A and B are shown apart, each in its own frame.
Chain A
């Protein structure tokens, strides 16, 4: 074979192969335009090769004139092909750039979301200020705290000042590049907000502070609680002082009242003397009520309940709370109110708190309606209170009412909407009523003021009648041991009991009483009853002495006597082993009746 023919055949074969393989070049490799051009290019030369072979074989020379034109076409087609490839590459680069940009944007967006999530999760307010102290950013928590002030000067927005604050932590951090802290109070729509601020600078690569970030922590509750604790501590101190004074005062009153009652028995025939003694006795009773108020104020101990009609207490407490106020009180008190078993001191405190609350709701004055009535609650009552008979006390004011979102929380401790409120008044009321197995609710309209309902279970027992019999003096006989640290009280009790016909031995403290009791037991001449003072400063008190006496003689009959009417021992005396109580100050009639009762009763401990 001729070399030219061989080379042409080889060329045709190769162009044919190239033409064939273009089929397998996909869109991923080159543009379809480029592939189309490559088809044409390879097809052209394949065709030229074929015509050459045909020419060599002498088959035909038909295509010879066209071959030249086809070859001419190759060049522009190749240039098109090349520029199509270049365009493809440019596009690829552009796409790659766009993809990279999109990824960078997604990354930035993701970082932004992450930062926002972190800022929200911190739970503190975040504020970013530039060097001019313009607020650039506030997180949602800070916006809720102080409002949206982005774009404003921080000192204007937060401190309502026309110039930067003295010792501004963020300015300090701009100067030295360090973290600075400060405590501030900020006035908002919701009242005064106490915040703890930690400021740190945002630094450029050159070390320049271009902005500052403030972390603002709301410490209002913490501060309020600290203040409240201080207030409670003060109250406790005053309460302790009041309790102590009341105790000593009670001892004085015991001596006073006891001697008056004794004097009355001695001067039975002289009307003028009796009248004077009764006046003194009445004054002493009023003094006793005062000491009881002091003891109630000291708030100690468990409720000392008694069956009573609450009308008078409600009226007196309401009037007492409104003294000097520009608010009037309208009473609608049921005449046939069921009795309830309550601690008068504590219920008085509840009424006081409700009345004060109503008074504060009407700063411009108005009318408070107080009513009492009997109600029977069905098993499916909306308050979910045990069904039965209740006495309902209703206190209604004409104030602005309570906002619906505040209603569920008004009984929460330390929750208050008042600037100087402690948030304890209604909580105390709630706690006291719960301790009385009662219920307290509130309802409020937007304009009709608030209405508080106090439900107290009606007592099964009847109110103890203060009969003339109570004024009777019961004489008796037997050996009585009396222990009291206060000498006048001790002497009075001795004289009283001697007057009643008892043989009395006295002791000034628990240790002495125990010794005397033991000696009497050993001599086979035991005491018939013991009267113990509950509190003995610096010595063994009534409770411990009682335990020791009962250990010696479980059948011992022991009375406890104290001015601390709210003391748990006085409230639950049986639990501590006592047979009865004689609250100070006492009269000869009360003492004689109580002794008569326990001496007549069978021994409780055998």
Chain B
């Protein structure tokens, strides 16, 4: 059924997600949307991990891995774009 580590992961993920959304709403943090999107995907993957133990195990497992893959893609694109941005653009 539920593994303890998965529940902890989920709780941490959801709490972190709330904090991240709160901070995003509170402040404008430019140029890091891809990282936040990747983070959301990770949290979704955690949700799917927990839920797949209850129902639709196969599909949700695929969705979990898909979410990880998508988050990996977003992080990769985020890091590549950040490394190529010029400092002048960042300061703007």
In the bound complex, what is the Cα–Cα distance between A96 and B91 (angstroms)? Answer: 9
19 sampled A-B residue pairs with Cβ under 8 A: A4-B62, A8-B68, A13-B72, A14-B76, A21-B82, A24-B83, A25-B83, A26-B83, A28-B87, A45-B72, A68-B3, A71-B5, A72-B12, A75-B16, A78-B39, A78-B42, A85-B29, A86-B29, A89-B27
Contact A11 B68 (CB under 8 A): yes
| 1/0 contact string of B1-36 vs chain A (CB within 8 Å) | 001011011001101100110010001010010010
| Residue A411 lies at the interface, judged by CB distance under 8 Å to chain B | no
Please name the 6 residue pairs, one residue from A and one from B, whose CB atoms are nearest each other, closest first.
Answer: A14-B72, A28-B87, A24-B83, A68-B5, A11-B72, A75-B12
| Complex contacts, B84 vs chain A, CB 8 Å | 24
| 1/0 contact string of A290-316 vs chain B (CB within 8 Å) | 000000000000000000000000000
B49 to chain A, nearest CB (A): 9
| Complex contacts, A14 vs chain B, CB 8 Å | 69, 72-73, 75-76
Partner of A25, one of B27, B62, B69, B82: B82
Name, among B13, B16, B19, B82, the residue most crowded by chain A CB atoms within 10 Å (CB to CB): B82
| 1/0 contact string of B54-83 vs chain A (CB within 8 Å) | 000000011001101101110110111011
In the bound complex, what is the Cα–Cα distance between A177 and B12 (angstroms)? Answer: 71
B39 to chain A, nearest CB (A): 6
A46 to chain B, nearest CB (A): 9
Contact B27 A68 (CB under 8 A): no
Number of A-B residue pairs with CB-CB distance less than 8 Å in the complex they form: 114
In the bound complex, what is the Cα–Cα distance between A501 and B6 (angstroms)? Answer: 160
In the bound complex, what is the Cα–Cα distance between A11 and B38 (angstroms)? Answer: 12
| Complex contacts, A13 vs chain B, CB 8 Å | 72
Contact B79 A82 (CB under 8 A): no
In the bound complex, what is the Cα–Cα distance between A470 and B48 (angstroms)? Answer: 150
Contact B69 A75 (CB under 8 A): no
| 1/0 contact string of A22-40 vs chain B (CB within 8 Å) | 1111101110000000100
* Interface SS of A by simple majority: helix
Interface residue count for A (Cβ, 8 Å)? 44
In chain A, positions 64-121 with a C-beta closer than 8 Å to chain B are 68-69, 71-72, 74-76, 78-79, 81-83, 85-86, 89, 92, 96
In the bound complex, what is the Cα–Cα distance between A42 and B35 (angstroms)? Answer: 11
| Shortest Cβ distance from A12 into B: residue | B72
Contact B79 A21 (CB under 8 A): yes
- A7 and B76 in contact (CB under 8 A), knowing A29-B90, A75-B13? no
| Residue A17 lies at the interface, judged by CB distance under 8 Å to chain B | yes
| Complex contacts, B82 vs chain A, CB 8 Å | 21, 25, 29-30
A300 to chain B, nearest CB (A): 85
Contact A3 B12 (CB under 8 A): no
A103 to chain B, nearest CB (A): 15
| Shortest Cβ distance from B88 into A: residue | A28
| Complex contacts, A12 vs chain B, CB 8 Å | 72
Contact A18 B78 (CB under 8 A): yes
| Residue A63 lies at the interface, judged by CB distance under 8 Å to chain B | no
Contact B12 A7 (CB under 8 A): no
| Residue A339 lies at the interface, judged by CB distance under 8 Å to chain B | no
| Shortest Cβ distance from A8 into B: residue | B65
| Complex contacts, B79 vs chain A, CB 8 Å | 17-19, 21-22, 25, 38, 42
| Complex contacts, A69 vs chain B, CB 8 Å | 5
| Residue A10 lies at the interface, judged by CB distance under 8 Å to chain B | yes
- A7 and B8 in contact (CB under 8 A), knowing A18-B72, A21-B79, A29-B83? no
In the bound complex, what is the Cα–Cα distance between A17 and B29 (angstroms)? Answer: 24
Name, among A72, A75, A89, the residue most crowded by chain B CB atoms within 10 Å (CB to CB): A75
| Residue A49 lies at the interface, judged by CB distance under 8 Å to chain B | yes
In the bound complex, what is the Cα–Cα distance between A245 and B70 (angstroms)? Answer: 124
| Complex contacts, A21 vs chain B, CB 8 Å | 76, 79-80, 82-83
Contact A18 B65 (CB under 8 A): no
In the bound complex, what is the Cα–Cα distance between A83 and B71 (angstroms)? Answer: 20
Contact B39 A15 (CB under 8 A): no
| Complex contacts, B19 vs chain A, CB 8 Å | 79
| Complex contacts, B15 vs chain A, CB 8 Å | 75
In the bound complex, what is the Cα–Cα distance between A330 and B76 (angstroms)? Answer: 112
| Shortest Cβ distance from A81 into B: residue | B35
| Complex contacts, A68 vs chain B, CB 8 Å | 3, 5-6, 9
In the bound complex, what is the Cα–Cα distance between A23 and B65 (angstroms)? Answer: 27
In the bound complex, what is the Cα–Cα distance between A74 and B73 (angstroms)? Answer: 17
Partner of B16, one of A8, A10, A38, A79: A79
